[in-house]
Structure 1
Amino acid sequence: MKKITLFLLLFTSAISIAQEKEEQHPQDINKKHEVKLNVLGALAFEWIDVSYEYLINDESSFGVGVLVGFDKNEDVDEYRKFSLTPFYRRYFSSKFARGFFVEGFGMLHSYKNNNYDYYIDGYGNYNSSYNGDTKTEFAVGISVGGKFISKKGFTTEIYLGLGRNLGGDNSSLEAVGRGGISLGYRF
């Protein structure tokens, strides 16, 4: 009888300990807003890329990012001049809106179209023409990433995604990239 009583006591204790709720951190209590700056874009590409995110619940959020490009050089990054990017994120962590996420996004963006047309005329002369007009298009895509939050509410996130332009002509970009390392604050 003592063994059965001891077993029941241990079983009841184990169940009650296992059912303790996870401690809530100060950054999770009544904080639904985040503002962020993509520092990778600012340092590597001369872009100012800021975003706002509203936390719907512990598993999802939506937000919008605005990017403005200032680079005047004929570099790899000179094509991006402006983008407005609404997004929806789904988090896959047991903690409140952090950890691994998948994001669906739409991107209204303008870019400098650098097309060079090369041809040989009827007399064997080699000619080229430059078409450097600015285009505005809309793309949809998906990103993956991770978000980390300090106890004081400071956030760091790393993400990378790819989207496809809808419409456009033969001289348009077919794909757009989205990515960065962002620092921000949850309030």
Structure 2
Amino acid sequence: MKKIIGLFLLGTFFVSAQESSPFDHKKNEFRVDVLSAIAYGKLSFSYERFLGKDFSVGVNTNFSNSQKIEDDFNDGFRNNLPKYEINPYVRYALSKSKSRYYFAEIFASTNGGDFKEIIRDTDSNGNGFYTIKKSKYTDFGLGGSLGYKMYFKESWALEFLVGFGSNLTKREQSPNVISRVGINLGYRF
């Protein structure tokens, strides 16, 4: 009887040891988007918290400081200049592996920046003229993304992400499309 109980406990230990992975104890991850920094002059940071086997939640923050986009805004090639974006998200892992997997995400967005428009006005003599009016905008949007993440040495992450969404409230001032495109480097702890 003691041998049977001992074998049962030993078998349970080996089964639970095989199911456990180094990722089970590392629930947090911090990432930096390299593609946005190089291509768009945008600082983009993400924090992700792993809730269980397949789900995680996180937040991404972007701050734009692109001279090219600002020049396009000032020269009249675009009417909005995005400055910041905050994206909370929920992710679901589509693959079974914890070290390399595809995922789908749903995200919300709070974004804002500068907006300008050309307004026709009249002077005291009734003569018409045009002027440029600059203002700030803040908008809210929803979207979805797909991506692929892989880990090296159980802590270092490389992530590819492509996603799009739409602003919902001030579409005449804010960009109609929100994009989440990036190549992220991260560390899981």
Compute the TM-score of the two structures, normalised by the length of structure 1. 0.74
Q: For 2:97, what is the secondary structure of its paired residue?
A: coil
Deviates more, 1:105-114 or 1:89-98: 89-98
Uncovered stretches (5+) of structure 1, i.e. residues with no partner: 1-18, 119-125
1:13 match: none
Q: Are positions 1:81 and 2:76 aligned together?
A: no
User: 1-side partners of 2:179 and 2:119: how far apart?
Assistant: 25
Q: C-alpha displacement at 1:25, in angstroms?
A: 4.9
Structure 2 counterpart of 1:177, from 176, 179, 184: 179
CA-to-aligned-CA distance 1:158-180 (integer Å, 9 cap, x gap): 11111111121534332211111
Looking at structure 1, the residues matched to 33 and 118 of structure 2 have their Cα atoms a distance apart, in angstroms, of: 32
Alignment of 1:48-87 (within 5 A): 48-72=43-67, 73-75=70-72, 79-87=81-89
In proportion to residue count, which structure has more helix?
2
SS of aligned partner of 2:52: coil
Paired residues, what number?
162
Letter in 2 for 1:59: D
Question: Secondary structure of 1:44's match?
Answer: helix
Residues 88-112 of structure 1, C-alpha deviation per residue, up to 9 Å, x if partnerless? 0011111127411111000101122
Match of 1:158 in 2: 160
1:169 and 1:142 map into 2 onto residues whose CA distance is 18
> Match for residue 32 of structure 1?
27
- Percent sequence identity is 28
C-alpha distance in 2 between matches for 1:23 and 1:172 = 48
Please give the root-mean-square deviation of Cα atoms over the aligned residues, in Å: 2.9
Task: Indicate the SS of the match to 2:98.
Answer: coil
Instruction: Please show how residues 83-98 of structure 1 align to structure 2 within 5 Å.
Output: 83-96=85-98, 98=100
* 1:65-107 residue CA offsets vs partner (Å, 9 max, x unmatched): 1111122432489822111110000111111274111110001
